[in-house]
């Protein structure tokens, strides 16, 4: 049993994780969140001192204050001076006191949500707490779902308005936990456009450390997640808890260390652009949050999260399927192509072994540059030399799959769609527009817009034999104010997300064999909300192999490799102007879902032969990379001159080493491989050298590279008898 109840104690257990909550006189107190405890006696210390300046609700018990207790719910206005997790305005105030009413355990996940939530949870168990605020006549339900094969708790909450008047939610976070007081570090994935998922690790100090997005998307510069780990935690040892949000819009996550060193962690919707009017008899659900635990350090928590995302979030039909090696025409042609060029590219792609040809931006309407035509989703037959289906048939005839780019959520002012429906753009009356890439965002909070997009996109996907869709999103939201009044406009950002999820749920379930890849100028919306519908993400517009090392490294903290597109592009690289050997570009892209994004027709035969060799090799190692357990061996972040990653899958092991700059004195590195069978023998492919597992783990392999910048080497071992 995953969930057990013993009197007023609630035990939420998975493989190696326990969350223990005590119900005490109506309050829910967090007694433990960490490594599994099956024989808990409730002796865990409760804060029983009279702390000055903390509010007490009972004058006879001066030792009990919301400010000093560890909780799973942060109420506003009743003496807890830390950040609240909930703030609801009713009548004249925004004070609420939710008290325990009942708890029940149900099978599966008790959710019929319009927001994304994990699938395949039939065998899971869910604990539902119901709390009530008798003054405001509000109900609050807290949900905790666990599976037995992963150390992840799925949690969210629901506010139900039983009163006969509307209330206004100002904050409703998805998960909160006052974790045991310790010396913690907080790890977040930050960065910028073309520098996504940079790992930031810092000590948790008194005060608030918050990462948030108010962009209407999770954004390039932050990921809706944080990892709280022991200050001493390393890759392989120490405790770590990851908090993640399955949501692609505005979010916040924070860790707050109070005046008495209590540590609160929370995650949910960012409230700068959010309030929610909840009518009488209606309910509001928060997005789903995940809490993942490991006592085996950062690698442990990464592997747990990667496994959960693969098994329960990525659409089932793609989660365990090898991903096609693609050629994308964007950096090969940008907008400058016509049918013949595309077919030449496709022919060369076929020759080198590519499996999927992707036609990127520029195939529709009057889209000859990025200033126009977004919204005009009709094929430019002049440019494509005929109907889209003719082109697709020619590509299919070569034995390649066919993929197409869309940016459905956008509208250009210079478009037929805007000329017909200027009011469909997100805008504030009388303030003009704020442009970004000369485009505006469609108001997906408006059901008419969602219906229009469903129809137009469904028609293209139905009329044409499309195998893959790249779904782009190239600006963030501004000028939010389409509501009839202020409150309605404050609801718009979240309503947009509900409209977006409705749209993608409709399209991906109707066209369930199409592989969707999400993109937002690269990784501007690389989050679990999108991953629930789109099994792949274009991790960055930065295709420079060296710049990509930290991006891929950061992604691996939470997301499985199989979710990450990685392309070999031309040199000098279009973003960095750097020249990197083709071998190294291949080795780096082979640490993700390999693809190519360059003009194959302009390469020499020798270069094409190298690419053909890479593709043939990748077809061999593909299951190792896409399904294997990943180990980060060397951190490529700022200041590092090297990177190394290992994948273990069945009887195969792949380690890739990259050196950035050449140094005279030190050109040798020892890689100690992880988690091998120490008594088994492993043969280095391409040689007849055999190593024992113990040798590879404890003595390591010495990487010897000649002088020269940007070099790399792959070590591919297969276990032998």
Instruction: Give min distance, CB of 572 to ligand DGJ, in A.
Output: 18
Instruction: Sort residue 719 into left (φ over 0), alpha (ψ -120 to 50) or beta.
Output: beta
- Reduce the DSSP state of residue 595 to 3 states and report it: strand
| Catalytic residue of the set 472, 544, 587, 599 | 472
Q: What share of the chain is helix, strand, coil (3-state, %, to 5)?
A: 20, 35, 45
- How far apart are alpha carbons 102 and 1 in whole angstroms? 20
Total residues binding ligand DGJ (CB under 6 A):
12
Residues 697/678, Cβ–Cβ less than 8 Å: yes
In the residue annotation, 472 being an active-site residue is answered as yes
**Positions in 609-628 near ligand DGJ (CB under 6 A):** none
Stretch that binds ligand DGJ, among 194-202, 296-304, 439-447, 514-522 (CB under 6 A): 514-522
Residue 56: partners with Cβ closer than 8 Å, 6 or more residues away: 62, 64, 65, 79
Count of Cβ atoms closer than 10 Å to residue 675 Cβ: 15
Contact track, ligand DGJ, 374-413, x by CB under 6 A: -------------------------------x--------
Report the candidate in 273, 223, 281 with the shortest Cα–Cα distance to residue 558: 223
Instruction: Give min distance, CB of 335 to ligand DGJ, in A.
Output: 8
Instruction: Give min distance, CB of 9 to ligand DGJ, in A.
Output: 50
Nearer to ligand DGJ, 194 or 241 (CB): 194
Residues 662/644, Cβ–Cβ less than 8 Å: no
Instruction: Give min distance, CB of 34 to ligand DGJ, in A.
Output: 40
| Catalytic residue of the set 178, 541, 587, 599 | 541
The torsion angles phi and psi of 471, rounded to 5 degrees, stand at -105, 105
**Positions in 540-579 near ligand DGJ (CB under 6 A):** 541
Nearer to ligand DGJ, 472 or 544 (CB): 472
Stretch that binds ligand DGJ, among 337-345, 516-524, 646-654, 671-679 (CB under 6 A): 516-524
Instruction: Give min distance, CB of 81 to ligand DGJ, in A.
Output: 44
Residues 604/349, Cβ–Cβ less than 8 Å: no
**Positions in 348-367 near ligand DGJ (CB under 6 A):** 360-361
Nearer to ligand DGJ, 474 or 492 (CB): 474
Contact track, ligand DGJ, 307-346, x by CB under 6 A: -----------------------x----------------
Nearer to ligand DGJ, 285 or 472 (CB): 472
Decide if residue 527 touches ligand DGJ (CB under 6 A): no
- How far apart are alpha carbons 206 and 260 in whole angstroms? 9
DSSP state of 520: B
Nearer to ligand DGJ, 254 or 471 (CB): 471
Instruction: Give min distance, CB of 477 to ligand DGJ, in A.
Output: 17
Stretch that binds ligand DGJ, among 38-46, 106-114, 421-429, 517-525 (CB under 6 A): 517-525
In the residue annotation, 541 being an active-site residue is answered as yes
Contact track, ligand DGJ, 449-488, x by CB under 6 A: -----------------------x-x--------------
Report the candidate in 458, 552, 469 with the shortest Cα–Cα distance to residue 516: 469
Q: Which of 84, 216, 521, 550 is the binder for ligand DGJ (CB under 6 A)? A: 521
Residues 284/278, Cβ–Cβ less than 8 Å: yes
Residue with the closest Cβ to ligand DGJ? 361
CA distance to 305, 630, 711, per residue, from 298 (Å): 10, 12, 27
Instruction: Give min distance, CB of 639 to ligand DGJ, in A.
Output: 28
DSSP 602-667: GS-HHHHHHHHHHHHHHHHHHHHHHHSEEEEEE--STT--EEEEEEEETTEEEEEEEE-S--SS--
Nearer to ligand DGJ, 521 or 586 (CB): 521
Report the candidate in 509, 500, 557, 566 with the shortest Cα–Cα distance to residue 536: 566
Residues 5/103, Cβ–Cβ less than 8 Å: yes
Residue ranges of alpha helices (H) inside 464-581 are 486-510, 528-531, 545-555
Contacting residues toward ligand DGJ, per CB under 6 A: 330, 360-361, 370, 405, 472, 474, 519, 521-522, 538, 541
List residues with catalytic annotation.
Answer: 472, 541
């Amino acid at each position: 049993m995953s969930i057990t109840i013993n009197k007023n104690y609630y035990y939420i257990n998975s493989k190696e994780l326990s969350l223990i909550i005590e119900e005490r006189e109506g309050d829910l107190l967090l007694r433990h969140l960490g490594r599994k405890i099956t024989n808990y006696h409730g002796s865990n210390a409760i804060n029983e001192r009279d702390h000055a300046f903390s509010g007490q609700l009972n004058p006879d018990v001066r030792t009990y204050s919301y400010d000093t207790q560890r909780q799973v719910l942060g109420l506003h206005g009743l003496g807890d001076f830390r950040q609240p997790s909930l703030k609801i305005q009713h009548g004249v105030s925004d004070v609420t006191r939710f008290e325990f009413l009942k708890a029940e355990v149900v099978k599966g996940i008790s959710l019929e949500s319009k927001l994304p939530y994990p699938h395949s949870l039939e065998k899971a168990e869910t604990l539902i707490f119901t709390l009530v605020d008798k003054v405001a006549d509000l109900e609050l339900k807290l949900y905790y779902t666990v599976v037995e094969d992963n150390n992840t708790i799925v949690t969210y909450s629901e506010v139900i308005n039983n009163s006969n008047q509307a209330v206004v939610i100002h904050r409703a976070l998805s998960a909160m936990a006052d974790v045991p007081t310790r010396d913690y570090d907080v790890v977040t994935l930050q960065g910028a456009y073309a520098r996504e998922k940079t790992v930031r690790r810092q000590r948790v100090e008194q005060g608030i450390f918050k990462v948030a997005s108010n962009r209407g998307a999770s954004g390039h510069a932050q990921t809706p997640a944080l990892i709280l780990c022991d200050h001493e935690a390393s890759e392989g040892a120490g405790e770590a808890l990851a908090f993640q949000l399955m949501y692609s819009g505005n979010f916040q996550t924070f860790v707050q260390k109070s005046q008495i060193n209590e540590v609160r962690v929370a995650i949910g919707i960012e409230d700068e652009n959010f309030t929610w009017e909840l009518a009488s008899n209606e309910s509001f659900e928060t997005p789903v949050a995940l809490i993942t635990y490991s006592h085996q350090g950062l690698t442990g928590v990464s592997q747990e999260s990667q496994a959960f995302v693969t098994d329960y979030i990525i659409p089932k039909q793609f989660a365990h399927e090898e991903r096609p090696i693609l050629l994308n025409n964007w950096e090969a042609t940008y907008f400058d192509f016509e049918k013949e060029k595309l077919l030449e590219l496709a022919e060369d792609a076929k020759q080198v072994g590519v499996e999927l040809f992707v036609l990127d931006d520029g195939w529709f309407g009057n889209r000859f540059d990025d200033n126009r035509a977004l919204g005009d989703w009709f094929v430019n037959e002049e440019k494509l030399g005929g109907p889209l289906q003719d082109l697709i048939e020619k590509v299919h005839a070569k034995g390649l799959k066919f993929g197409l780019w869309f940016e459905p959520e956008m509208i250009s002012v210079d478009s037929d769609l805007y000329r017909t429906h200027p009011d469909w753009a997100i805008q504030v009356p009388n303030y003009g527009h704020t442009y970004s890439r000369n485009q505006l965002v469609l108001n997906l909070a408006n059901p008419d817009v969602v219906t229009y997009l469903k129809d137009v996109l469904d028609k293209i996907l139905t009329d044409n034999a499309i195998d893959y869709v790249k779904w782009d999103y190239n600006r963030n939201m501004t000028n939010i104010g389409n509501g009839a009044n202020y409150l309605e406009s404050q609801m718009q950002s979240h309503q947009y997300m509900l409209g977006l999820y409705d749209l993608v749920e409709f399209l991906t379930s109707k066209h369930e064999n199409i592989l969707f890849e999400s993109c937002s100028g690269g990784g501007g919306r690389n989050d679990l909300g999108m991953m629930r519908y789109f099994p792949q993400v274009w991790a960055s517009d930065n295709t420079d192999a060296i710049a990509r090392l930290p991006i891929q490294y950061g992604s691996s903290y939470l997301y499985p490799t199989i979710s990450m597109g990685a392309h070999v592009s031309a040199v000098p690289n279009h973003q960095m102007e750097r020249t990197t050997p083709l071998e190294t570009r291949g080795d780096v892209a082979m640490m993700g879902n390999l693809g190519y994004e360059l003009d194959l027709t302009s390469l020499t035969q020798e270069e094409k032969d190298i690419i053909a060799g890479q593709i043939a090799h990748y077809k061999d190692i593909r299951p190792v990379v896409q399904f294997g357990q990943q180990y980060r061996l060397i951190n490529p972040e700022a200041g590092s001159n090297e990177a190394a990653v290992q994948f273990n899958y069945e009887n195969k092991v792949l380690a890739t080493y990259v050196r950035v700059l050449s140094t005279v004195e030190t050109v040798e590195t020892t890689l100690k491989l992880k988690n091998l069978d120490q008594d088994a023998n492993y043969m280095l492919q391409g040689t007849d050298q055999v190593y024992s597992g113990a040798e590879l783990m404890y003595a390591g392999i010495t990487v010897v590279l000649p002088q020269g910048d940007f070099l790399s080497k792959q070590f591919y071992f297969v276990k032998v008898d």
